[in-house]
């Protein structure tokens, strides 16, 4: 992980699993798994990036969502939340209408993702993912959508593969194909710049997240 060179004194060799604190903020370093007792039902991401994942008995993994700042999520029985970078999460008590609307958002995202997993080609999946991650992680100076955004791609190729139902190699090939075609640019694997958003959206199969 060379995304951030923040020095955290003596933080490297700690247990990789964490219990939800009784009350407030929760700070995570990269690749920590959040295991929560149902005390805190709803959590919000203050900063950083989490992956919500599910496993088959034999180890196959499916990431159901990548969650960025401002997003609300909850983790239940067979759902794990893992930080993809230094992150901070916080329990939230919501007014019930906000609760409902957040639930709707989660559902809508999951349905869109099912459409992606069930019916989109590899290129369409990767394009969709890049646009989604740009929306979540590109700095938005203006309320408008960033048309030439650079952002940090927190998920690794392996994470993307497990999110999009593909393999590491296919992710790499597709991203580099997009680079060759001039849709995106990157020198380091995790700093992505969108060069041609309309074309990317077309490549995504016509559904903007």
Partner DNA sequence: CGTTCACTTGATTGGATTCAATGCCCGTGG
Partner DNA sequence: CCACGGGCATTGAATCCAATCAAGTGAACG
Residues that bind a copy of itself (CB under 8 A): 52, 54, 56-58, 60-62, 64, 76-77, 79, 96, 99-100, 103-104, 106-108, 110-115, 117-120, 162-165, 205-207
**Dist CA 82 CA 57 (whole Å):** 18
193 part of the interface to DNA, by CB under 7 A: no
54 touches DNA by CB under 7 A:
no
Tell me, rounded to whole angstroms, the distance of Cα 78 from its chain centroid. 18
Pairing label, strands 26-28, 87-91: antiparallel
Task: Determine, following the binding rule CB under 7 A, whether residue 115 of this chain makes contact with DNA.
Answer: no
Residues 130 and 124: their CA atoms lie apart, in Å, by: 10
Interatomic CA distance for residues 195 and 197, integer angstroms? 6
From the list DNA, a copy of itself, none, partner contacted by residue 162 (C-beta under 5 to 8 A by kind): a copy of itself
Contacts with DNA: how many residues (CB under 7 A)? 23
Q: Pick from DNA, a copy of itself, none: which does 6 bind, CB < 5 to 8 A by kind?
A: none
CB 67 within 8 A of CB 110: no
CB of 52 to DNA, least distance (A): 18
d(C-alpha 195, C-alpha 24), whole Å: 40
Among the candidate windows 43-51, 73-81, 85-93, 160-168, which touches DNA by CB under 7 A?
A: 160-168
- 65/162 with CB nearer DNA: 162
Q: Site mask, DNA, residues 5-24, x = CB under 7 A?
A: -------x------------
User: CB of 87: closest distance to DNA in angstroms?
Assistant: 16
Dist. CA 20–CA 22, nearest whole Å: 6
CB 30 within 8 A of CB 86: yes
- Bridge partners, 205 (sequence order): none
Q: Is 121 in the site for DNA (CB under 7 A)?
A: yes
């Amino acid at each position: 992980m060379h995304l951030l060179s923040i020095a955290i004194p003596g933080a490297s060799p700690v247990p990789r699993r964490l219990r939800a604190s009784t009350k407030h903020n929760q700070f995570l370093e990269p690749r920590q798994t959040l295991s929560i007792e149902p005390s805190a039902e709803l959590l919000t991401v203050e900063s950083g990036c989490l992956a919500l994942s599910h496993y088959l008995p034999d180890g196959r993994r499916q990431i159901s969502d990548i969650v960025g700042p401002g997003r609300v999520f909850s983790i239940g029985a067979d759902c794990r939340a893992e930080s993809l970078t230094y992150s901070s999460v916080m329990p939230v008590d919501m007014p019930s209408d906000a609760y409902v609307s957040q639930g709707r958002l989660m559902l809508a995202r999951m349905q869109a993702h099912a459409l992606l997993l069930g019916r989109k080609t590899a290129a369409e999946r990767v394009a969709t993912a890049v646009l989604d991650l740009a929306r979540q992680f590109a700095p938005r100076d203006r309320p408008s959508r960033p048309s030439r955004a650079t952002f940090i791609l927190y998920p690794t190729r392996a994470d993307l593969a497990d999110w999009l139902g593909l393999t590491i190699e296919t992710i790499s090939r597709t991203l580099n194909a997009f680079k060759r075609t001039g849709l995106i640019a990157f020198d380091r694997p995790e700093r992505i710049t969108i060069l041609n958003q309309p074309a990317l959206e077309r490549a995504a199969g016509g559904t903007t997240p």
